[in-house]
Amino acid sequence: MFKKDISPGAKSKVKSSVQRTIRQKVLDTYPLLEPYIEDILPKKEQLDLVKLPDRVSLYVLNGTPLFFQHMDDALLPHLALVHRYPNAFSRLRIDRGAIRFVLSGATLMAPGLTSPGGRLPGDPADTEGRYGKEDLEPGTPVVIEAEGKDTACMVGVLKMGTGEMKKVKKGQACEAGHYLGDGLWTLAL
Amino acid sequence: MATESYPKTVIYCGVCTLPPEYCEFGGTTKKCEEWLEKNQSELHKKLYSQEALEQNLSSLSIEAQKRAEKDSQKKAAKAAAAEARDAETRASSKVLIKRIERNKRKYVTAVQGLEAFGLDIKKVAKDFGKKFATGSSVTKVPGGGDEITVQGDLSDDILEYIEDNYKDVPEDNIELVEDKKKKKAEQVG
Ligand SMILES: [Zn+2]
């Protein structure tokens, strides 16, 4: 979505009623954020909306980008937010070999997740349950972590359910929404 | 891991802006490592230890290693080429300080070409305004680039200021000129 460098468009204040709606939407999509929501989206502080190219809206609080949204699609977290609250999102892990493809903006393919270095929900090798137990449906927003790394490198929406991935082990797994080093990451606000 | 507290603080690379564990995938790995060693020596020890480097390699097949190696060489070459190009434009770029007569004994000073030296023109214009306590504005030049216009005859002062404050601009590249196109009007008047 942000393969090219972008520059921010018009910035406007979000009305408090809209701000409440956004807060609720965030909680509906990411229920695990509940304990931190007052820190992330304080009720009393002014949220700003920055327009980005291709009908993407970016929500910014005091200069810190929090969530972005293409038209009326799901609100997706900015990676800097993911890095602060990594456990509040559904996560998957790619193997080391897939990292450089993801960082160049390629669509994530299933083998990067199903190989031994990858992790999908319910993986027996995932003893701490970091990647969850329940399979995820297509259309679910996910955070992509990487083998041997602590921090996430991508945020996207699943094109294929994780159950399906385990079965077919090929095809497009996840649309590249936002990845480390892309236009959104390097955006100067 | 329930004992971890949030928000987590993530260190970002001062060179490529990614979390340092991802620096190896960019084109500036060498510079990134130097930065990390200087600024975050603990993390540097962890990420660039012999052990860590070996482990990075062992999780990839020989073939994938070769491809990744090639890929990173390409990226490094690209980054080096871009840097060389930058250096070249700098060496051949001229900064023009023009004294323009607006009315009899009233002058403005126009400065062109600073953007080629990686300077933020708007900020420079502000600095000029502050330093010389005068009006200072930025306009686009038809042929491309920006021009800073400062009220008053400040050619020599600006020359000195640039030499003292913007060390990236070589003295020899700065040229002082006088714009006399108003002369005709003067004669008539
Ligand atoms: Zn770096």
pTM: 0.73
Q: Residue A136 and residue A131: Cα distance in Å, rounded?
A: 11
The token duo for A156 is 């996207």
Report the share of chain B in percent with pLDDT over 70.
92
> Is B6's Cβ below 8 Å from some Cβ in A?
yes
| pLDDT at residue B2, rounded to an integer | 47
Contact between chains at B6 and A84 (C-beta distance less than 8 A) = yes
Q: Residue A55 and residue B166: Cα distance in Å, rounded?
A: 39
- Decide if pLDDT at A183 tops 50: yes
Report the share of chain A in percent with pLDDT over 70.
100
The token duo for B64 is 């994938």
Contact between chains at A97 and B17 (C-beta distance less than 8 A) = no
Residues of A in contact with B6 (CB under 8 A): 36, 84-85, 87-88
- Decide if pLDDT at B160 tops 70: yes
> Is A97's Cβ below 8 Å from some Cβ in B?
yes
| pLDDT at residue B116, rounded to an integer | 84
**Each residue's pLDDT tens digit, A96-154:** 999 999 999 999 999 999 999 999 999 999 999 999 999 999 999 999 999 999 999 99
Contact between chains at A180 and B1 (C-beta distance less than 8 A) = no
The vertex-B28 CA angle with B26 and B34, nearest 5°, equals 125
| pLDDT at residue B118, rounded to an integer | 80
Mean pLDDT of B167-184: 78
Q: Residue A131 and residue A176: Cα distance in Å, rounded?
A: 19
Mean pLDDT over all residues of chain A?
Answer: 95
Which residues contact residue B28 at a Cβ distance below 8 angstroms, ignoring those fewer than 6 apart?
A: B15, B16, B76, B79
Q: Which domains does chain A have, with CATH numbers?
A: 10-84 (3.10.400.20), 91-179 (3.10.400.20)
Provide the b/e sequence for A122-137 (b: ≥16 CB within 10 Å). Answer: ebeeeeeeebbeeebe
Mean pLDDT over all residues of chain B?
Answer: 85
Q: Is this complex scored with an ipTM above 0.85?
A: yes
Nearest by CB: B8 against A39, A86, A95: A86
- Decide if pLDDT at B186 tops 70: no
Q: Which domains does chain B have, with CATH numbers?
A: 20-90 (no CATH), 93-179 (3.30.780.10)
| pLDDT at residue B105, rounded to an integer | 80
Which residues contact residue B44 at a Cβ distance below 8 angstroms, ignoring those fewer than 6 apart?
A: B20, B33, B36, B37
Q: Residue A135 and residue B69: Cα distance in Å, rounded?
A: 35
> Is A150's Cβ below 8 Å from some Cβ in B?
yes
Provide the b/e sequence for B39-64 (b: ≥16 CB within 10 Å). Answer: ebeebbeebbeeeeeeebeeebeeeb
| pLDDT at residue B181, rounded to an integer | 55
DSSP states of B29-90: HHHHHHHHHHH-HHHHHHHTSHHHHHHHHHTS-HHHHHHHHHHHHHHHHHHHHHHHHHHHHH
| Strand-pair category, B174-179 with B95-103 | parallel
Q: Which residue of B has its CA nearest to A103?
A: B25
Q: Which helix (H) or strand (E) holds B15?
A: none
Q: In residues, how long is chain A? A: 189
| pLDDT at residue B36, rounded to an integer | 96
**Each residue's pLDDT tens digit, B89-127:** 888 888 889 988 888 788 899 999 888 888 888 889 999
Q: Residue A92 and residue A118: Cα distance in Å, rounded?
A: 8
Q: Residue A189 and residue A59: Cα distance in Å, rounded?
A: 11
Q: Residue B164 and residue B72: Cα distance in Å, rounded?
A: 39
Confidence of residue B189 (pLDDT cuts 50, 70, 90): very low
**Each residue's pLDDT tens digit, B13-51:** 999 999 999 999 988 888 999 999 999 999 999 999 988
Q: Are the CB atoms for A99 and A125 separated by under 8 Å?
A: no
| pLDDT at residue B3, rounded to an integer | 54
Q: What is the dihedral sign for C-alpha A152, A153, A154, A160? A: negative
| Sheet with strand A56-61: strands edge to edge | A11-13, A47-52, A56-61, A64-70, A76-77
